[in-house]
């Protein structure tokens, strides 16, 4: 492919490459998409910058999941607008683009609400960014939120080896997008569209490319990743379990993860081999995110989650039977319309029964256009807030106990990057805990045994127990 580098000519006549700043809000799908947007703009000469004020193009990759998330986006647009005005006062043009789920949901409304935004691009159209940005630079106001016929993933540029190396030894790979579940509180089926699984060969090619540039850990991501049913090389659909087995053969890949899973799909037969894979695939990390939302059957039915509390606990039990050291994380919503104190106590009881390693807890947020928004018995904000605190107290106690249980143990740590202190390295445990240790930077990219000596608020501290577990990885990052 021919590649051109475009330069911006400053008012003082100096040439310089164009700079793009991409800011991600919300979930890991957006983090992944932000990288792919930067990759797609790179052949047009756009170099990533961490500083929005010096950028020629600022892309806000937005989240629409809760009202607060949307408010954050508009306040960020206000902040960037001041930088745009300052750039224009210096004779420099800054294009502001809004991408992601707010773009998809609000479209034209964004440009109507704030005239500083030049481009609104929906989550299925990132491959069109170079052309759209060029038109926006020429002064056009553009909204592109169609769901196109072409496959975005085929059209997006691949990251360069340098870009991969810069992003570190752990990487996300989207394997599935969209959602057909239509939980009554959730905007995702409307903003991300129908559930689509990518073919196995394309995912394998992505993972091989990442591994060749030093990536050691892959997290397969999607809104309902355990509903994965992408076509295999023989044209027949494959399950997530089969995909994980195939990826565990990619040279250099030492760790595999997946998120987010839906409890219903864990039990409907399509995940039998995924559950089995937890028992016999050493690369598959023993850490599963399985959102439950509520511990009350009445509320689960009103949420259209299509599983009961008993079925959720059964999914946990089957996974634990396959791999006893599995730890679970979850998502909870408190104060869904009609939730009584008794329903909420069911949620607290479920949390106690499962004993989570960590969980995200949210107050129900009314999302216009979703079925739950029309329900009459909305729970008062004060009640929601009080329930949130009670649930958080339980989860925090469990999370602290989980972390403290590793003091005195030896864990396999994937060393990721230098720490803030001289001689310090930061790595990740199988349970995604951040682990600090003192060691040589040559170990970045290796899996090392670390004796855990102490625990902080969010971090474990330890010392190298022996060098590396897998000799093939010992030279990585050296």
What are the residues binding ligand SAM (CB under 6 A)?
A: 27, 65-66, 185-186, 188, 223-224, 260, 262, 291, 293, 331, 333, 362, 364-365, 367
Q: How far apart are CA 423 and CA 387, in angstroms?
A: 44
Backbone phi, psi, residue 189, to 5°: -60, -25
> What is the nearest approach in angstroms of ligand SF4 to the Cβ of residue 37?
22
Q: Does 29 bind ligand SF4 (CB under 6 A)?
A: no
> What is the nearest approach in angstroms of ligand SAM to the Cβ of residue 345?
19
Cβ proximity to ligand SAM, 123 vs 260, nearer residue: 260
With beta carbons less than 8 A apart as the criterion, state whether 134 and 106 touch.
no
> What is the nearest approach in angstroms of ligand SF4 to the Cβ of residue 337?
16
Q: How far apart are CA 445 and CA 418, in angstroms?
A: 11
Q: How far apart are CA 445 and CA 212, in angstroms?
A: 12
Binding partner at 122 among ligand SAM, ligand SF4, none, C-beta below 5 to 8 Å by kind? none
Helix axes 341-354, 309-322, angle to 10 degrees: 10
Q: How many residues contact ligand SF4, by CB under 6 A?
A: 10
Q: Does 179 bind ligand SF4 (CB under 6 A)?
A: yes
Q: Does 186 bind ligand SF4 (CB under 6 A)?
A: yes
> What is the nearest approach in angstroms of ligand SAM to the Cβ of residue 262?
5
> What is the nearest approach in angstroms of ligand SF4 to the Cβ of residue 175?
15
Binding partner at 227 among ligand SF4, ligand SAM, none, C-beta below 5 to 8 Å by kind? none
Q: How far apart are CA 41 and CA 57, in angstroms?
A: 10
Which residue is it, tokens 């005005």? 85
With beta carbons less than 8 A apart as the criterion, state whether 61 and 99 touch.
yes
Q: Does 289 bind ligand SF4 (CB under 6 A)?
A: no
Q: How far apart are CA 164 and CA 213, in angstroms?
A: 6
Binding partner at 7 among ligand SAM, ligand SF4, none, C-beta below 5 to 8 Å by kind? none
Backbone phi, psi, residue 58, to 5°: -115, 125
Binding partner at 189 among ligand SAM, ligand SF4, none, C-beta below 5 to 8 Å by kind? ligand SF4
> What is the nearest approach in angstroms of ligand SAM to the Cβ of residue 305?
8
Q: Does 182 bind ligand SF4 (CB under 6 A)?
A: yes
Binding partner at 174 among ligand SF4, ligand SAM, none, C-beta below 5 to 8 Å by kind? none
Site string (193-232) toward ligand SF4, x via CB under 6 A: ------------------------------xx--------
Which residue is it, tokens 């170990």? 443
With beta carbons less than 8 A apart as the criterion, state whether 237 and 230 touch.
yes
With beta carbons less than 8 A apart as the criterion, state whether 406 and 429 touch.
yes
> What is the nearest approach in angstroms of ligand SAM to the Cβ of residue 15?
43
Binding partner at 362 among ligand SAM, ligand SF4, none, C-beta below 5 to 8 Å by kind? ligand SAM
Q: How far apart are CA 177 and CA 188, in angstroms?
A: 10
Q: Which residues contact 414 (CB under 8 A, 6 or more apart)?
A: 169, 170, 216, 217, 254, 255, 427, 428, 446, 447
Residue 385: CB atoms within 10 Å: 12
Binding partner at 54 among ligand SAM, ligand SF4, none, C-beta below 5 to 8 Å by kind? none
SS3 content of the chain, % helix, strand, coil (to 5): 40, 25, 35
Binding partner at 245 among ligand SF4, ligand SAM, none, C-beta below 5 to 8 Å by kind? none
Cβ proximity to ligand SF4, 167 vs 192, nearer residue: 192
Identify the three-state secondary structure at position 299: helix
Stretch that binds ligand SF4, among 29-37, 185-193, 275-283, 416-424 (CB under 6 A): 185-193
Stretch that binds ligand SF4, among 106-114, 175-183, 405-413, 447-455 (CB under 6 A): 175-183
What's the Rg (C-alpha) of the chain?
Answer: 23
With beta carbons less than 8 A apart as the criterion, state whether 63 and 26 touch.
yes
Q: Does 262 bind ligand SF4 (CB under 6 A)?
A: yes
Cβ proximity to ligand SF4, 332 vs 406, nearer residue: 332
Q: Where are the alpha helices (DSSP H) in 42-179?
A: 67-89, 100-106, 108-113, 129-137, 152-155, 161-167
**Interacting residues with ligand SF4 (CB under 6 A):** 179, 181-183, 186, 188-189, 223-224, 262
């Amino acid at each position: 492919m021919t590649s051109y580098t475009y330069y911006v000519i400053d008012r003082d006549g100096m040439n310089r490459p164009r700079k793009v700043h991409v800011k991600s809000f919300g979930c890991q799908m957006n983090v992944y998409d932000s990288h792919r947007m930067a990759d797609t703009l790179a052949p047009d000469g756009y170099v990533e910058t961490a500083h929005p004020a010096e950028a020629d193009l600022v892309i806000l990759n937005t989240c629409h999941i809760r009202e607060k998330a949307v408010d954050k986006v508009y306040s960020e647009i206000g902040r960037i607008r001041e930088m745009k005005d300052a750039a224009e006062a210096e004779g420099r043009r800054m294009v502001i683009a809004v991408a992601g789920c707010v773009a998809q949901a609000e479209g034209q409304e964004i440009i109507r609400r704030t005239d500083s935004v030049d481009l609104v691009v929906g989550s299925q159209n990132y491959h069109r960014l170079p052309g759209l940005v060029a038109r926006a630079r020429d002064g056009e106001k553009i909204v592109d939120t169609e769901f196109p016929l072409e496959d975005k993933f085929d059209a997006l540029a691949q990251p360069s080896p340098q870009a991969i190396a810069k992003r570190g030894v752990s990487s996300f790979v989207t394997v599935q997008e969209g959602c057909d579940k239509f939980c009554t509180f959730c905007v995702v089926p409307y903003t991300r569209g129908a559930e689509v699984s990518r073919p196995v060969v394309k995912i394998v090619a992505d993972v091989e490319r990442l591994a060749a540039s030093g990536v050691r850990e892959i997290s397969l991501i999607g809104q309902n990743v355990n509903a994965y049913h992408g076509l295999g090389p023989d044209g027949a659909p494959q399950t997530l379990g089969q995909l994980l087995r195939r990826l565990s053969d990619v040279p250099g890949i030492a760790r595999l993860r997946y998120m987010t899973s839906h409890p219903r799909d864990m039990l409907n037969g399509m995940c039998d081999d995924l559950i089995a894979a937890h028992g016999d695939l050493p690369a598959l990390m023993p850490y599963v995110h399985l959102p439950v939302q509520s511990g009350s059957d009445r509320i689960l039915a009103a949420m259209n989650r299509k599983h009961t509390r008993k079925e959720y606990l059964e999914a946990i039990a089957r996974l634990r039977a396959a791999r006893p050291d599995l730890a679970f994380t979850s998502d909870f919503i408190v104060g869904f319309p009609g939730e009584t104190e008794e329903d909420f106590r069911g949620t607290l009881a479920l949390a106690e029964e499962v004993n989570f390693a960590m969980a995200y807890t949210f107050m129900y947020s009314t999302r216009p256009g979703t079925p739950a928004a029309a329900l009459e018995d909305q729970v008062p904000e004060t009640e929601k807030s009080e329930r949130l605190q009670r649930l958080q107290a339980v989860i925090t106690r469990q999370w602290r106990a989980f972390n403290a249980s590793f003091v005195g143990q030896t864990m396999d740590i994937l060393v990721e990057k230098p720490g803030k202190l001289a001689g310090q390295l930061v790595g990740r445990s199988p349970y995604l805990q951040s682990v600090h240790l003192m060691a040589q930077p040559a170990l970045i990219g290796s899996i090392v045994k670390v004796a855990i000596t102490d625990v902080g608020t969010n971090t474990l501290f330890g010392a190298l127990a022996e060098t590396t577990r897998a000799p093939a990885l010992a030279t990585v990052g050296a």
